[in-house]
Structure 1
Amino acid sequence: MNSVQLLRGQLRPALLGSLIGLLMTVACAAPAQADDAVALSSLDQVPDGVEVRGKQIAAYTWDDRQGKNLLVLAEQISERDDDGTQSAFVYAAQYLIDGNRPKRVWMLYDDVQHCQFDASLRFDRAATKVTDLSGDGITQATVGYSRTCTSDVSPNEFKLIMHVGKAQKYRLRGVDRYGAAWWDEEAGALRGMPLPKDCSVAGQQALVSQYKEQGTELPLPGCYGDEKDFAKAPEAYLTFMREHWFALMQKQDSEWSQAQLQPQAPTEEDDTAP
Protein backbone atom coordinates (compact mmCIF):
# COMPACT_ATOMS: atom_id res chain seq x y z
CA MET A 1 0.00 0.00 0.00
CA ASN A 2 1.47 3.36 -0.96
CA SER A 3 1.55 6.54 1.11
CA VAL A 4 -1.28 8.13 -0.84
CA GLN A 5 -3.59 5.24 -0.03
CA LEU A 6 -2.70 5.42 3.65
CA LEU A 7 -3.20 9.16 3.77
CA ARG A 8 -6.68 8.80 2.36
CA GLY A 9 -7.65 6.65 5.28
CA GLN A 10 -5.86 8.59 8.00
CA LEU A 11 -6.27 12.28 7.26
CA ARG A 12 -10.02 12.32 7.73
CA PRO A 13 -10.17 12.35 11.58
CA ALA A 14 -11.59 15.50 13.13
CA LEU A 15 -8.74 18.00 13.04
CA LEU A 16 -9.98 21.51 13.57
CA GLY A 17 -7.80 23.53 11.20
CA SER A 18 -8.97 27.12 10.96
CA LEU A 19 -8.98 29.03 7.70
CA ILE A 20 -6.63 31.58 9.22
CA GLY A 21 -4.01 28.95 9.94
CA LEU A 22 -4.19 27.51 6.45
CA LEU A 23 -3.95 30.85 4.71
CA MET A 24 -1.13 32.05 6.98
CA THR A 25 0.86 29.03 5.85
CA VAL A 26 0.37 30.15 2.27
CA ALA A 27 1.66 33.61 3.09
CA CYS A 28 4.71 32.51 5.09
CA ALA A 29 6.54 30.15 2.74
CA ALA A 30 9.04 31.62 0.29
CA PRO A 31 8.07 31.96 -3.38
CA ALA A 32 10.13 30.46 -6.18
CA GLN A 33 12.78 32.77 -7.56
CA ALA A 34 12.16 34.21 -10.99
CA ASP A 35 15.58 35.84 -11.49
CA ASP A 36 16.98 32.90 -13.45
CA ALA A 37 13.81 32.16 -15.44
CA VAL A 38 14.12 31.95 -19.23
CA ALA A 39 11.35 33.50 -21.33
CA LEU A 40 9.25 30.93 -23.19
CA SER A 41 7.28 31.34 -26.40
CA SER A 42 4.11 29.27 -26.81
CA LEU A 43 3.69 27.17 -29.92
CA ASP A 44 0.35 25.90 -31.26
CA GLN A 45 1.74 23.34 -33.70
CA VAL A 46 5.04 21.49 -33.35
CA PRO A 47 7.31 21.00 -36.39
CA ASP A 48 7.43 17.79 -38.38
CA GLY A 49 9.70 15.26 -36.74
CA VAL A 50 8.56 16.07 -33.18
CA GLU A 51 6.69 13.13 -31.66
CA VAL A 52 3.54 13.81 -29.64
CA ARG A 53 1.87 10.97 -27.74
CA GLY A 54 -1.68 11.65 -26.59
CA LYS A 55 -3.33 15.07 -26.72
CA GLN A 56 -0.94 18.00 -26.88
CA ILE A 57 -1.73 20.49 -24.12
CA ALA A 58 1.23 22.86 -24.50
CA ALA A 59 4.44 23.47 -26.44
CA TYR A 60 7.14 26.07 -25.81
CA THR A 61 10.34 27.24 -27.47
CA TRP A 62 13.38 29.08 -26.13
CA ASP A 63 17.00 29.71 -27.06
CA ASP A 64 20.12 28.83 -25.10
CA ARG A 65 23.77 28.03 -25.79
CA GLN A 66 22.77 24.76 -27.45
CA GLY A 67 20.46 26.47 -29.95
CA LYS A 68 16.66 26.58 -30.30
CA ASN A 69 14.81 24.27 -27.90
CA LEU A 70 11.27 22.95 -27.93
CA LEU A 71 9.31 21.41 -25.03
CA VAL A 72 6.06 19.58 -25.72
CA LEU A 73 3.56 18.35 -23.09
CA ALA A 74 0.76 15.86 -23.77
CA GLU A 75 -1.61 13.70 -21.74
CA GLN A 76 -4.42 11.21 -22.23
CA ILE A 77 -7.11 9.49 -20.17
CA SER A 78 -8.63 6.49 -21.90
CA GLU A 79 -12.21 5.32 -22.00
CA ARG A 80 -12.96 2.43 -19.68
CA ASP A 81 -12.07 -1.04 -20.92
CA ASP A 82 -14.56 -3.88 -21.09
CA ASP A 83 -13.50 -4.94 -17.59
CA GLY A 84 -14.33 -1.47 -16.23
CA THR A 85 -10.72 -0.40 -15.67
CA GLN A 86 -9.21 2.87 -16.89
CA SER A 87 -5.71 3.93 -17.97
CA ALA A 88 -4.00 7.30 -18.36
CA PHE A 89 -0.58 8.73 -19.21
CA VAL A 90 1.48 11.90 -19.50
CA TYR A 91 4.21 12.55 -22.05
CA ALA A 92 6.82 15.29 -22.32
CA ALA A 93 9.88 15.72 -24.51
CA GLN A 94 12.54 18.33 -25.20
CA TYR A 95 13.94 18.75 -28.70
CA LEU A 96 16.74 20.74 -30.25
CA ILE A 97 15.46 22.26 -33.48
CA ASP A 98 18.40 22.00 -35.88
CA GLY A 99 17.19 23.03 -39.30
CA ASN A 100 14.55 20.57 -40.50
CA ARG A 101 15.78 17.74 -38.28
CA PRO A 102 14.54 18.01 -34.67
CA LYS A 103 16.73 16.03 -32.26
CA ARG A 104 15.14 14.69 -29.09
CA VAL A 105 17.14 15.51 -25.96
CA TRP A 106 15.00 13.62 -23.42
CA MET A 107 11.56 12.08 -23.06
CA LEU A 108 9.28 11.61 -20.03
CA TYR A 109 6.47 9.05 -19.96
CA ASP A 110 4.45 7.96 -16.93
CA ASP A 111 1.19 6.05 -16.77
CA VAL A 112 -1.48 4.34 -14.70
CA GLN A 113 -2.62 1.07 -16.21
CA HIS A 114 -5.88 -0.82 -15.62
CA CYS A 115 -7.07 1.32 -12.71
CA GLN A 116 -10.20 -0.12 -11.13
CA PHE A 117 -11.30 3.34 -9.97
CA ASP A 118 -10.65 6.72 -11.67
CA ALA A 119 -7.25 7.06 -13.36
CA SER A 120 -5.71 10.48 -13.86
CA LEU A 121 -2.36 11.97 -14.81
CA ARG A 122 -2.28 15.72 -15.43
CA PHE A 123 0.45 18.28 -15.87
CA ASP A 124 0.44 21.30 -13.60
CA ARG A 125 1.10 24.02 -16.16
CA ALA A 126 2.35 26.35 -13.41
CA ALA A 127 5.16 23.86 -12.75
CA THR A 128 6.65 24.29 -16.23
CA LYS A 129 9.80 26.40 -15.90
CA VAL A 130 13.00 26.82 -17.88
CA THR A 131 15.94 28.29 -15.97
CA ASP A 132 19.63 29.09 -16.32
CA LEU A 133 20.64 28.57 -12.71
CA SER A 134 24.38 28.34 -13.41
CA GLY A 135 24.44 31.40 -15.65
CA ASP A 136 26.41 29.52 -18.32
CA GLY A 137 23.75 29.45 -21.04
CA ILE A 138 22.89 25.78 -20.41
CA THR A 139 19.23 25.64 -19.40
CA GLN A 140 17.23 23.37 -17.10
CA ALA A 141 13.67 22.35 -18.04
CA THR A 142 11.30 21.54 -15.16
CA VAL A 143 7.82 20.01 -15.36
CA GLY A 144 5.38 18.75 -12.73
CA TYR A 145 2.33 16.52 -12.77
CA SER A 146 -0.15 14.69 -10.54
CA ARG A 147 -0.84 10.96 -10.71
CA THR A 148 -3.68 8.99 -9.13
CA CYS A 149 -5.95 5.96 -9.22
CA THR A 150 -8.69 6.55 -6.67
CA SER A 151 -12.41 6.57 -6.04
CA ASP A 152 -12.50 9.48 -3.57
CA VAL A 153 -11.38 13.10 -3.18
CA SER A 154 -7.93 12.90 -1.63
CA PRO A 155 -4.33 14.01 -2.27
CA ASN A 156 -2.57 12.76 -5.40
CA GLU A 157 0.99 11.72 -6.02
CA PHE A 158 2.93 14.70 -7.34
CA LYS A 159 6.25 14.68 -9.20
CA LEU A 160 8.43 17.70 -9.96
CA ILE A 161 11.20 16.80 -12.40
CA MET A 162 14.14 18.86 -13.69
CA HIS A 163 16.04 17.80 -16.82
CA VAL A 164 19.46 19.20 -17.65
CA GLY A 165 20.58 18.11 -21.08
CA LYS A 166 20.31 14.50 -22.15
CA ALA A 167 21.57 12.66 -19.08
CA GLN A 168 20.84 14.65 -15.91
CA LYS A 169 17.48 14.30 -14.14
CA TYR A 170 16.53 15.48 -10.65
CA ARG A 171 13.21 14.68 -8.97
CA LEU A 172 11.10 15.59 -5.97
CA ARG A 173 8.29 13.07 -5.43
CA GLY A 174 5.53 13.44 -2.88
CA VAL A 175 1.86 14.28 -2.35
CA ASP A 176 -0.09 17.36 -3.45
CA ARG A 177 -2.76 19.42 -1.63
CA TYR A 178 -5.82 18.31 -3.60
CA GLY A 179 -8.48 17.27 -1.09
CA ALA A 180 -6.23 17.97 1.92
CA ALA A 181 -8.83 20.22 3.61
CA TRP A 182 -12.61 20.16 3.75
CA TRP A 183 -15.38 22.30 5.21
CA ASP A 184 -17.00 21.09 8.41
CA GLU A 185 -20.54 22.45 8.55
CA GLU A 186 -20.98 21.73 12.26
CA ALA A 187 -17.71 23.36 13.29
CA GLY A 188 -18.02 26.17 10.75
CA ALA A 189 -14.35 25.79 9.80
CA LEU A 190 -11.95 24.00 7.50
CA ARG A 191 -10.56 20.71 8.75
CA GLY A 192 -7.34 19.01 7.74
CA MET A 193 -3.59 19.04 8.19
CA PRO A 194 -2.17 22.46 7.23
CA LEU A 195 0.45 22.85 4.52
CA PRO A 196 3.86 21.94 6.04
CA LYS A 197 6.57 24.60 5.99
CA ASP A 198 9.37 22.05 6.33
CA CYS A 199 9.46 18.79 4.37
CA SER A 200 12.35 17.26 6.32
CA VAL A 201 11.40 14.08 8.18
CA ALA A 202 11.81 15.89 11.52
CA GLY A 203 9.67 18.80 10.34
CA GLN A 204 6.86 16.54 9.15
CA GLN A 205 6.95 14.39 12.28
CA ALA A 206 6.70 17.52 14.44
CA LEU A 207 3.54 18.53 12.57
CA VAL A 208 2.10 15.03 12.95
CA SER A 209 2.73 15.19 16.72
CA GLN A 210 1.21 18.67 16.98
CA TYR A 211 -2.01 17.52 15.32
CA LYS A 212 -1.99 14.17 17.16
CA GLU A 213 -2.02 12.16 13.95
CA GLN A 214 0.36 9.44 15.11
CA GLY A 215 0.76 6.62 12.59
CA THR A 216 0.27 8.85 9.55
CA GLU A 217 2.69 7.82 6.83
CA LEU A 218 5.00 10.43 5.32
CA PRO A 219 5.15 12.43 3.14
CA LEU A 220 2.27 14.61 4.31
CA PRO A 221 0.05 16.36 1.73
CA GLY A 222 2.13 19.17 0.26
CA CYS A 223 5.50 17.50 0.97
CA TYR A 224 7.98 15.38 -0.95
CA GLY A 225 9.72 12.27 0.31
CA ASP A 226 13.44 13.06 0.10
CA GLU A 227 16.15 14.99 -1.73
CA LYS A 228 18.41 12.05 -2.62
CA ASP A 229 18.50 12.91 -6.32
CA PHE A 230 20.33 16.14 -5.47
CA ALA A 231 23.22 14.61 -3.52
CA LYS A 232 25.71 15.48 -6.28
CA ALA A 233 23.77 18.30 -7.96
CA PRO A 234 24.77 21.98 -7.85
CA GLU A 235 23.32 23.64 -4.76
CA ALA A 236 21.36 26.08 -6.92
CA TYR A 237 19.34 23.20 -8.39
CA LEU A 238 18.05 22.00 -5.03
CA THR A 239 17.38 25.55 -3.82
CA PHE A 240 15.28 26.25 -6.90
CA MET A 241 13.39 22.96 -6.73
CA ARG A 242 12.55 23.37 -3.03
CA GLU A 243 11.21 26.87 -3.57
CA HIS A 244 9.37 25.89 -6.73
CA TRP A 245 7.74 22.90 -4.99
CA PHE A 246 6.51 25.03 -2.08
CA ALA A 247 5.23 27.76 -4.42
CA LEU A 248 3.17 25.17 -6.31
CA MET A 249 1.82 23.65 -3.10
CA GLN A 250 0.93 27.10 -1.73
CA LYS A 251 -1.02 27.83 -4.91
CA GLN A 252 -2.84 24.48 -4.75
CA ASP A 253 -3.58 24.89 -1.05
CA SER A 254 -4.99 28.39 -1.48
CA GLU A 255 -7.15 27.45 -4.47
CA TRP A 256 -8.48 24.29 -2.82
CA SER A 257 -9.23 26.04 0.49
CA GLN A 258 -11.02 28.89 -1.28
CA ALA A 259 -13.08 26.38 -3.27
CA GLN A 260 -14.28 24.76 -0.03
CA LEU A 261 -15.46 28.15 1.25
CA GLN A 262 -17.53 28.98 -1.84
CA PRO A 263 -21.29 28.78 -1.27
CA GLN A 264 -22.61 25.52 -2.67
CA ALA A 265 -25.39 25.77 -5.24
CA PRO A 266 -28.66 24.41 -3.79
CA THR A 267 -29.52 20.93 -4.96
CA GLU A 268 -32.94 19.85 -6.20
CA GLU A 269 -33.46 18.13 -2.85
CA ASP A 270 -32.72 21.41 -1.03
CA ASP A 271 -35.18 23.30 -3.24
CA THR A 272 -38.04 20.90 -2.51
CA ALA A 273 -37.37 20.32 1.18
CA PRO A 274 -40.19 21.61 3.45
Structure 2
Amino acid sequence: MNSVQLLRGQLRPALMGLLMAVACVTTVRADDTVALTLVDQVPEGVEVRGKQVAAYTWDDRQGKNLLVLAEQVSEREDDGTQSAFVYAAQYLLDGDHPKRMWMLYDDVQHCQFDAALRFDMAATKVTDLTGDGITQATVGYSRTCTSDVSPNEFKLIMHVGKSQKYRLRGVDRVGASWWDEEAGALRGMPLPKDCSIAAQQALVSQYKEQGTELPLPGCYGDEKDFAKAPDSYLAFMRQHWFALMHKQDTEWGQSQTQPQPEDPTGDDESAP
Protein backbone atom coordinates (compact mmCIF):
# COMPACT_ATOMS: atom_id res chain seq x y z
CA MET A 1 0.00 0.00 0.00
CA ASN A 2 1.53 3.38 -0.94
CA SER A 3 1.64 6.56 1.16
CA VAL A 4 -1.38 8.15 -0.52
CA GLN A 5 -3.58 5.19 0.35
CA LEU A 6 -2.45 5.46 3.96
CA LEU A 7 -3.96 8.93 4.33
CA ARG A 8 -7.37 8.95 5.95
CA GLY A 9 -9.50 10.68 3.28
CA GLN A 10 -11.31 8.96 0.45
CA LEU A 11 -10.92 9.99 -3.18
CA ARG A 12 -13.26 9.43 -6.06
CA PRO A 13 -11.87 6.78 -8.45
CA ALA A 14 -10.69 9.30 -11.07
CA LEU A 15 -8.55 11.31 -8.67
CA MET A 16 -7.40 8.27 -6.73
CA GLY A 17 -6.11 6.64 -9.86
CA LEU A 18 -4.35 9.80 -10.95
CA LEU A 19 -2.62 10.38 -7.62
CA MET A 20 -1.51 6.76 -7.46
CA ALA A 21 -0.01 7.18 -10.90
CA VAL A 22 2.06 10.26 -10.05
CA ALA A 23 4.26 8.43 -7.52
CA CYS A 24 4.36 9.83 -4.02
CA VAL A 25 8.07 9.80 -3.35
CA THR A 26 8.43 11.00 0.23
CA THR A 27 6.36 11.42 3.37
CA VAL A 28 7.53 14.05 5.88
CA ARG A 29 6.19 15.11 9.25
CA ALA A 30 4.89 18.66 9.40
CA ASP A 31 4.34 18.43 13.14
CA ASP A 32 3.10 15.84 15.66
CA THR A 33 -0.32 15.46 14.06
CA VAL A 34 -0.26 16.17 10.31
CA ALA A 35 1.70 14.21 7.71
CA LEU A 36 2.50 15.75 4.33
CA THR A 37 3.06 13.58 1.29
CA LEU A 38 5.33 15.08 -1.37
CA VAL A 39 4.10 14.43 -4.91
CA ASP A 40 5.89 14.96 -8.21
CA GLN A 41 2.89 15.89 -10.32
CA VAL A 42 -0.41 17.56 -9.53
CA PRO A 43 -3.82 16.39 -10.79
CA GLU A 44 -5.43 17.84 -13.89
CA GLY A 45 -7.41 20.95 -13.03
CA VAL A 46 -4.80 22.31 -10.57
CA GLU A 47 -3.27 25.56 -11.81
CA VAL A 48 0.48 26.04 -11.43
CA ARG A 49 1.98 29.42 -12.31
CA GLY A 50 5.72 29.41 -12.89
CA LYS A 51 8.03 26.49 -12.08
CA GLN A 52 6.63 24.04 -9.54
CA VAL A 53 9.06 23.67 -6.63
CA ALA A 54 6.94 21.45 -4.36
CA ALA A 55 3.48 19.93 -3.99
CA TYR A 56 2.04 18.16 -0.95
CA THR A 57 -1.12 16.30 -0.05
CA TRP A 58 -2.62 15.69 3.39
CA ASP A 59 -5.89 14.69 4.95
CA ASP A 60 -8.18 16.57 7.34
CA ARG A 61 -11.89 16.82 8.22
CA GLN A 62 -12.63 18.57 4.93
CA GLY A 63 -11.13 15.75 2.88
CA LYS A 64 -7.91 15.44 0.89
CA ASN A 65 -5.94 18.64 0.42
CA LEU A 66 -3.21 19.65 -2.00
CA LEU A 67 -0.70 22.49 -1.58
CA VAL A 68 1.35 23.57 -4.58
CA LEU A 69 4.30 26.01 -4.53
CA ALA A 70 5.87 27.62 -7.61
CA GLU A 71 8.42 30.34 -8.42
CA GLN A 72 9.68 32.19 -11.48
CA VAL A 73 12.42 34.70 -12.28
CA SER A 74 12.27 36.31 -15.71
CA GLU A 75 15.08 37.07 -18.09
CA ARG A 76 16.13 40.71 -18.14
CA GLU A 77 14.10 43.02 -20.33
CA ASP A 78 15.60 45.27 -23.00
CA ASP A 79 15.78 48.06 -20.42
CA GLY A 80 17.84 45.85 -18.08
CA THR A 81 15.08 45.30 -15.52
CA GLN A 82 14.05 41.95 -14.08
CA SER A 83 10.83 40.54 -12.60
CA ALA A 84 10.04 37.56 -10.37
CA PHE A 85 7.09 36.01 -8.57
CA VAL A 86 5.99 33.27 -6.17
CA TYR A 87 2.71 31.37 -6.35
CA ALA A 88 1.01 29.06 -3.88
CA ALA A 89 -2.45 27.52 -3.77
CA GLN A 90 -4.38 25.02 -1.69
CA TYR A 91 -6.91 22.74 -3.37
CA LEU A 92 -9.53 20.41 -1.97
CA LEU A 93 -9.53 17.22 -4.00
CA ASP A 94 -13.25 16.61 -3.72
CA GLY A 95 -15.16 14.91 -6.51
CA ASP A 96 -14.01 14.92 -10.11
CA HIS A 97 -12.60 18.47 -10.13
CA PRO A 98 -10.13 20.02 -7.66
CA LYS A 99 -11.55 23.08 -5.85
CA ARG A 100 -9.17 25.91 -5.03
CA MET A 101 -9.42 27.06 -1.40
CA TRP A 102 -7.04 30.01 -1.64
CA MET A 103 -4.24 31.41 -3.78
CA LEU A 104 -1.12 33.40 -2.91
CA TYR A 105 0.70 35.49 -5.50
CA ASP A 106 3.44 38.05 -4.88
CA ASP A 107 5.85 39.64 -7.31
CA VAL A 108 8.63 42.12 -7.99
CA GLN A 109 8.13 43.98 -11.24
CA HIS A 110 10.76 45.77 -13.36
CA CYS A 111 13.55 45.59 -10.79
CA GLN A 112 16.62 47.55 -11.86
CA PHE A 113 18.88 45.29 -9.78
CA ASP A 114 18.43 41.57 -9.01
CA ALA A 115 14.83 40.45 -8.44
CA ALA A 116 14.23 37.37 -6.32
CA LEU A 117 11.31 35.68 -4.58
CA ARG A 118 11.98 32.28 -3.03
CA PHE A 119 10.03 29.99 -0.76
CA ASP A 120 11.76 28.92 2.43
CA MET A 121 10.89 25.24 2.27
CA ALA A 122 11.48 24.85 6.01
CA ALA A 123 8.60 27.28 6.55
CA THR A 124 6.03 24.97 4.92
CA LYS A 125 3.92 23.41 7.68
CA VAL A 126 0.39 22.10 8.09
CA THR A 127 -1.04 22.03 11.61
CA ASP A 128 -4.24 21.35 13.52
CA LEU A 129 -3.70 23.84 16.33
CA THR A 130 -7.28 23.84 17.62
CA GLY A 131 -7.74 20.08 17.45
CA ASP A 132 -10.98 20.30 15.47
CA GLY A 133 -9.75 18.49 12.37
CA ILE A 134 -9.55 21.71 10.30
CA THR A 135 -5.92 22.30 9.34
CA GLN A 136 -3.86 25.44 8.90
CA ALA A 137 -1.39 25.68 6.00
CA THR A 138 1.65 27.93 6.54
CA VAL A 139 4.22 29.03 3.95
CA GLY A 140 7.10 31.51 4.07
CA TYR A 141 9.16 33.28 1.44
CA SER A 142 11.74 36.03 0.92
CA ARG A 143 11.33 38.96 -1.46
CA THR A 144 13.99 41.35 -2.70
CA CYS A 145 15.19 43.75 -5.39
CA THR A 146 18.80 44.56 -4.51
CA SER A 147 22.30 44.78 -5.97
CA ASP A 148 24.10 43.43 -2.89
CA VAL A 149 23.88 40.73 -0.24
CA SER A 150 21.61 42.16 2.42
CA PRO A 151 18.57 41.07 4.46
CA ASN A 152 15.42 40.47 2.44
CA GLU A 153 11.78 41.14 3.15
CA PHE A 154 10.29 37.96 4.64
CA LYS A 155 6.66 36.90 4.94
CA LEU A 156 5.26 34.02 6.98
CA ILE A 157 1.62 33.40 6.08
CA MET A 158 -0.94 31.02 7.58
CA HIS A 159 -4.15 30.16 5.71
CA VAL A 160 -7.17 28.60 7.40
CA GLY A 161 -10.01 27.53 5.11
CA LYS A 162 -11.00 29.77 2.21
CA SER A 163 -10.87 33.22 3.77
CA GLN A 164 -8.79 33.37 6.95
CA LYS A 165 -5.21 34.62 6.55
CA TYR A 166 -2.69 35.57 9.23
CA ARG A 167 0.70 37.13 8.48
CA LEU A 168 3.99 38.04 10.09
CA ARG A 169 5.98 40.37 7.85
CA GLY A 170 9.52 41.59 8.44
CA VAL A 171 13.17 41.05 7.50
CA ASP A 172 15.17 37.82 7.28
CA ARG A 173 18.74 37.14 8.48
CA VAL A 174 20.58 36.83 5.17
CA GLY A 175 23.58 39.17 5.13
CA ALA A 176 22.92 40.42 8.67
CA SER A 177 26.46 39.69 9.87
CA TRP A 178 29.94 39.57 8.37
CA TRP A 179 33.28 37.94 9.09
CA ASP A 180 35.87 40.21 10.68
CA GLU A 181 39.26 38.91 9.54
CA GLU A 182 41.24 40.87 12.15
CA ALA A 183 39.09 39.77 15.06
CA GLY A 184 38.51 36.27 13.69
CA ALA A 185 34.82 36.49 14.54
CA LEU A 186 31.41 37.39 13.13
CA ARG A 187 30.29 40.99 13.54
CA GLY A 188 26.80 42.45 13.51
CA MET A 189 23.74 42.73 15.67
CA PRO A 190 22.64 39.35 17.09
CA LEU A 191 19.37 37.68 16.21
CA PRO A 192 16.55 39.32 18.22
CA LYS A 193 14.64 37.05 20.58
CA ASP A 194 11.69 39.42 20.99
CA CYS A 195 10.13 41.40 18.14
CA SER A 196 8.20 43.90 20.26
CA ILE A 197 9.12 47.50 19.42
CA ALA A 198 10.53 48.06 22.90
CA ALA A 199 12.77 44.98 22.67
CA GLN A 200 14.03 45.91 19.21
CA GLN A 201 14.80 49.49 20.30
CA ALA A 202 16.62 48.20 23.38
CA LEU A 203 18.79 45.97 21.16
CA VAL A 204 19.60 48.90 18.87
CA SER A 205 20.54 50.99 21.90
CA GLN A 206 22.72 48.22 23.34
CA TYR A 207 24.72 47.82 20.14
CA LYS A 208 24.67 51.56 19.35
CA GLU A 209 23.72 51.03 15.72
CA GLN A 210 23.04 54.38 14.11
CA GLY A 211 20.26 54.87 11.61
CA THR A 212 18.90 51.33 12.03
CA GLU A 213 15.27 51.00 10.99
CA LEU A 214 12.73 48.62 12.48
CA PRO A 215 12.06 45.78 12.05
CA LEU A 216 15.60 44.57 12.63
CA PRO A 217 17.01 41.69 10.55
CA GLY A 218 15.31 38.56 11.88
CA CYS A 219 12.21 40.36 13.20
CA TYR A 220 8.65 41.05 12.05
CA GLY A 221 6.85 44.37 12.26
CA ASP A 222 3.69 43.65 14.26
CA GLU A 223 1.13 41.03 15.25
CA LYS A 224 -2.01 42.95 14.21
CA ASP A 225 -3.36 40.15 12.04
CA PHE A 226 -3.78 37.97 15.13
CA ALA A 227 -5.95 40.33 17.18
CA LYS A 228 -9.03 38.12 16.78
CA ALA A 229 -7.30 34.79 16.08
CA PRO A 230 -7.09 31.86 18.52
CA ASP A 231 -4.13 32.26 20.88
CA SER A 232 -2.63 29.04 19.55
CA TYR A 233 -2.21 30.59 16.09
CA LEU A 234 0.02 33.43 17.29
CA ALA A 235 1.96 31.16 19.66
CA PHE A 236 2.73 28.81 16.78
CA MET A 237 3.66 31.59 14.35
CA ARG A 238 5.99 33.29 16.83
CA GLN A 239 7.78 30.03 17.56
CA HIS A 240 7.94 29.13 13.87
CA TRP A 241 9.28 32.58 12.87
CA PHE A 242 12.13 32.49 15.38
CA ALA A 243 13.02 28.89 14.50
CA LEU A 244 13.31 29.87 10.82
CA MET A 245 15.39 32.96 11.62
CA HIS A 246 17.70 30.93 13.86
CA LYS A 247 18.21 28.43 11.05
CA GLN A 248 18.96 31.21 8.56
CA ASP A 249 21.30 32.93 11.01
CA THR A 250 23.25 29.72 11.62
CA GLU A 251 23.55 28.87 7.93
CA TRP A 252 24.60 32.41 7.01
CA GLY A 253 27.21 32.49 9.77
CA GLN A 254 28.66 29.17 8.64
CA SER A 255 28.90 30.44 5.06
CA GLN A 256 30.92 33.44 6.27
CA THR A 257 33.40 31.52 8.41
CA GLN A 258 34.17 28.60 6.13
CA PRO A 259 37.49 28.90 4.23
CA GLN A 260 37.38 29.84 0.57
CA PRO A 261 37.87 26.91 -1.85
CA GLU A 262 41.21 26.62 -3.57
CA ASP A 263 41.58 27.44 -7.26
CA PRO A 264 40.39 24.21 -9.00
CA THR A 265 42.72 24.86 -11.94
CA GLY A 266 45.77 24.72 -9.69
CA ASP A 267 47.29 27.65 -11.63
CA ASP A 268 50.28 29.29 -9.96
CA GLU A 269 50.83 32.84 -11.19
CA SER A 270 54.48 32.69 -10.12
CA ALA A 271 55.17 29.71 -12.38
CA PRO A 272 56.87 30.45 -15.73
Fold shared, TM-score > 0.5 on shorter chain: yes
Note the residue ranges of structure 1 that are not aligned, 5 or more in a row. 1-32
SS class of match (2:234): helix
Q: What is the CA deviation profile of residues 52-111 of structure 1, one whole-angstrom value per residue up to 9, with x for unaligned ones?
A: 000000000001000000000000000000000000000000000012200000000000
Alpha-carbon distance in 2 for matches of 1:269, 1:253: 33
Structure 1 position 175 matched with structure 2 position 150: no
Shift of 1:213: 0.9
Q: What is the DSSP-based 3-state SS (H/G/I as helix, E as strand, rest coil) of the residue aligned with 1:195? A: coil
Q: How does 1:26-41 map to 2 (within 5 A)?
A: 34-35=31-32, 37-41=33-37
Aligned to 2:215: 219
Amino acid in the other structure paired with 1:126: A
Other-structure match for 2:13: none
SS in 2 for 1:247: helix
What's the CA shift for 1:38?
1.0
Q: For residues 1-274 of structure 1, what are the structure 2 equivalents within 5 Å?
A: 34-35=31-32, 37-266=33-262, 271-272=268-269
Looking at structure 2, the residues matched to 213 and 114 of structure 1 have their Cα atoms a distance apart, in angstroms, of 32
What runs of 5+ residues in structure 2 fail to find an aligned partner? 1-29
Question: Percent identity over the alignment?
Answer: 84
Return the alpha-carbon distance in structure 2 between the equivalents of residues 83 and 191 of structure 1.
Answer: 38
- Contact 2:31/2:126, CA 8 A, preserved across alignment: no
**Length-normalised TM-score, structure 2:** 0.86
Name the structure, 1 or 2, with higher relative contact order (CA <8 Å, separation 6+). 1
Q: Distance in 1 between matches of 2:72 and 2:224?
A: 30
1:224-260 Cα distance to aligned partner (Å, 9 max, x none): 0000000000000000000000000000000110111
Q: How many residues get paired? A: 241
C-alpha separation in 1, matches of 2:185 and 2:107: 37
TM-score (norm 1): 0.85
- Cα RMSD for the two superposed structures: 1.7
In the TM superposition, what is the alpha-carbon distance from 1:34 to its structure 2 partner? 3.6
In structure 1, C-alpha distance between the alignment counterparts of 2:211 and 2:270, rounded to whole Å:
42
Q: Residue 236 of structure 1: SS of its match in structure 2?
A: helix
Kindly state the Cα deviation for residue 270 of structure 1 after the two structures are TM-superposed: 9.7
User: Secondary structure, in 3 states, of the residue corresponding to 1:58?
Assistant: strand
